[in-house]
Amino acid sequence: MYTKKNYTIKRMLSWTRRYIYIFLLTSIIPVTLYELLDWKWLHLPWLPIGLVGTALAFIIGFKNNASYNRLWEARKIYGGIVNASRLFATMTNDFITNEFTNNKKSDAEFFQIKKTIIMRHVAWMTSLRHALRVKKPWETTYSNKSDQEVMKKMHIQEYEYTLSEELDDYLNSEEKQEVLSKTNKQAACLKLQSNHFKELKLAGLIDDFRHMEFKKMIEEFFTLQGKAERIKNFPYPRQFATLNLFFAWIFVALLPFGLMSEFDKIGQSLLNYESQSTIQNIIANNFVWLIIPFSIIISWIFFTMERIGDVSENPFEGIANDVPITTISRGIEIDIREIIGDHKNDIPNPHPEYEHTQM
């Protein structure tokens, strides 16, 4: 029966197939020279190679742990954006009133003010999404062909639509022009929010205390934005990432040479049994060829763990296992627009839940 587990394994093998071809080549060549050309001297002692493999396992484990911490921190940042946005919408809904002004506003006017603030907040999340999707030279989808193939099969909204196109739904033409003219678009959106709250205070629609509470929320959004930008713009240290890959290739290249003498000894020991069938003799005489599948499997395990660490380093690229910032942002938009009482026909639908399984 075709199960989700089988589907995951199939995708994982497809994702790493280029490396499997290399592992096949690096194992076939030395075994062929050893067995067919009778180069019996072409082997290395297993002990130093085993030590290299042990050291590599520790290094890859360290890298994967650090990469997972970056991924989990990114998820916590967006969890903070979810909570802060809901609180912000609640404050917007409750704090802006006629209580402190002589120029009374109607319910329709209040709703328009609140909706402007909320839509501007969505514009901030949209600008942040696009900033986090910008490709960096150290990211795997920038250079790795396997990851680029995976990305082609996915629908990443930030790559299909420009920021200018998406902001049309959330900002008026003057605000949109102001935001797009700035280097940091998301910071420009928060600046517009801050200016608006100052105008509301001067108009008496919020008092000093409520104005300060709104300022604290702006500060919180700047803090969360800065944390996300830090992960995006500061990569996992390149010296660790480069050395990990270098050590992995050394181990893969040496592995067949360390296995040959060991497998040859096993084959010879099988020939020493008194009762031998024809099939057993064939297996014993050709036992050294089993190095090829064993070498491929061991190399694949090490390299797959190395690749998992690679794709986890940068959690905002948009690859299958990254933080789904587009889906989360749409969920936030739905929540906060419902909080202020926006009409359900005006609120967009959630993004389709694509299957975020391993590659």
CA–CA separation, 247 vs 253, rounded Å?
10
Whether residue 99 contacts residue 324, with contact meaning beta carbons closer than 8 Å, is answered with no
The residues, any chain, with a CB within 8 Å of residue 157's CB and separated by 6 or more, are 129, 166, 326, 351
CA–CA separation, 21 vs 15, rounded Å?
12
Q: How large is the average pLDDT for residues 71-83?
A: 96
Residue type, 270: L
Record the pTM. Answer: 0.85
Torsion-angle region of residue 45: left (phi > 0), alpha (psi -120 to 50) or beta? beta
* Stretch among 10-14, 68-72, 247-251 having the lowest mean pLDDT: 10-14
Indicate whether 284 pLDDT > 50. Answer: yes
Map out the domains of the chain as residue ranges.
4-339
Q: How large is the average pLDDT for residues 267-282?
A: 68
Q: How large is the average pLDDT for residues 131-149?
A: 83
Q: How large is the average pLDDT for residues 108-135?
A: 96
**b/e map 115-127, b = 16+ CB within 10 Å:** bbbbbbbbbbbbb
Q: How large is the average pLDDT for residues 192-205?
A: 94
pLDDT value at position 1? 40
pLDDT tens digits for 163-177?
Answer: 999 999 999 999 999
* Nearest one of 359, 340, 335, 356 to 348, comparing CA atoms: 335
The percentage of the chain sitting over the pLDDT mark of 70, rounded to a whole number, equals: 93
* Nearest one of 237, 217, 220, 289 to 259, comparing CA atoms: 289
Residue that has been written with the tokens 């099939």 in this structure: 279
Burial of 183 (0-12, 13-18, 19+ CB in 10 A): exposed
Extract the tokens encoding 333.
């938009």
Indicate whether 320 pLDDT > 90. Answer: no
Residue type, 5: K
The percentage of the chain sitting over the pLDDT mark of 90, rounded to a whole number, equals: 55
